[in-house]
Amino acid sequence: MATPAEEAKAKGNECFKKKQFHEAIEHYTAAIELDPSVPAYYTNRAFAYIKTEGFGAALEDADSALRRNPKFVKAYYRRATANMGLGKWKASKRDFEAVLKVRPNDKDAQKKFKEVDKIVRRLAFEKAITVGEAGVKRDVVQIMTEAMEKMEVKDSYDGPRLDGDITPEFMEELMQHLKDQKKLHIKYAVKILLEVHKLLSSLPSLVDITIEEDGKMTVCGDVHGQFYDVLNIFELNGLPSPSNPYLFNGDFVDRGSFSVEVMLTFFGFRILYPNHFFLSRGNHESINMNQMYGFFGEVKAKYTDDLADLFTEVFNWLPLGHLIDNKIFCVHGGLFSEDGVKVDQLRTIKRNCQPPDHGLMCEMLWSDPQPMPGRAPSLRGVGTRFGPDITAAFLDDNDLKLVIRSHEMKEEGYEIAHDGKCITIFSAPNYCDSMGNKGAFIKLDKRHEPEIVQFEAVPHPDVKPMAFAGGLSSLLGF
């Protein structure tokens, strides 16, 4: 007869199979509380945390399992994956080395060790070539500007041409061309990136938005390379225009395999409507995430390595948040580990860099709300968790009404928390073609009363998520 702890584990396993990862975590937690001596309970929960990007919590569980059994191989696997999720490639490599010490003939471990070792070597090489002999970083913007001038568009190219300014007609042609699985010519892709780089680099780190009288604003959350769902948003809610402004709240790329199409569309609209189409940086607009979850691989497969580097330069200039009518704070991740943060501080953050692992910029991209008061360490291993009292205090300190953030998949596409003062919005339905969740977006007018619109996923061409992540897709459990 199974023990109560084993019964709890079995329930967790059933939830995991159904991709109900949060419920699985609850059952594995119950098993641990009933019998904290079993390492498998911790590694099972670690895997569920990994599926929800709770890499910090997964690391803790893997360590707990190893304290109970230093030769428990699955714990090294889990810790290796969690370290990858945090961009700690060398630590991940050491974990696979530890697996091979225990099981030297494990072919799966050998394969994964070689894959991670390849990444470590590649990153070292890329770091070396990014900086020249004089120790000066390559000026990718200048390199691509000069390269663009030499690019020839042959008569056989049948896509939209961008010989002048971006127009609404060009954008409609572009979206149809991309929908038909055709590539925009690299000359025009480079031109769009260079123009948006110039625009974004002129902005503060917190951008003000004003909803016009009798106007509206649509706020969307993560889209993660799901281009065909983005087109569906525009079908449902209308194309961007001065009378139909949009804010997309970060995590435009990775996981989904049409991230290039998403970015060319978003950057095109950002240039066309600089006062009515807005983009916030998410934690996935960063090198570590792009190397791991497919965006770099996609850009390199569809275009070139240099274009991938140019995307990085542009991502570095994306604003970190937006303030709507001085009343609604929109940010990808969330709030802060310290009290008393003022919105004026956020305007002047130096953002032209990769996100650090602590501080205001990090927390804007990585933090999450929690139902209990106060703060707690992030399950992700980066950022912080903040409670309803923290949200209320931040809003009071800054004379605001509402926080809108994204960053987390929600079954219904949204979640209203913290007494209605913190809304999570997520706009990637059936996330990774497997989660079965709805997508949602928020419509706002001058009353600042959010209207939430839900929608389902639409079909897309037969290209799987993480298709350009190479061997990383299996390492990360895809």
Residues near 445 by Cβ (< 8 Å), separated by ≥ 6? 211, 214, 215, 216, 217
- Alpha-carbon distance of 442 to 188, in angstroms, equals 32
Q: Select from 202, 177, 180 the least CA-distant residue to 189.
A: 177
- Alpha-carbon distance of 88 to 431, in angstroms, equals 25
Tokens at residue 408, please? 């987390």
Q: Which helix (H) or strand (E) holds 200?
A: helix 186-200
Paired strand residues for 442 = 219, 452
Which one of 284, 322, 407, 418 is the catalytic residue?
284
Tokens at residue 180, please? 């038909």
* Contact status, residue 199 vs residue 304, Cβ threshold 8 Å: no
Active site residue 460: no
- Alpha-carbon distance of 344 to 346, in angstroms, equals 5
* Contact status, residue 312 vs residue 290, Cβ threshold 8 Å: yes
Per DSSP, the chain holds a count of helices (H) and strands (E) of 19, 14
| Cβ neighbours of 415 (radius 10 Å) | 15
Catalytic residue IDs: 284
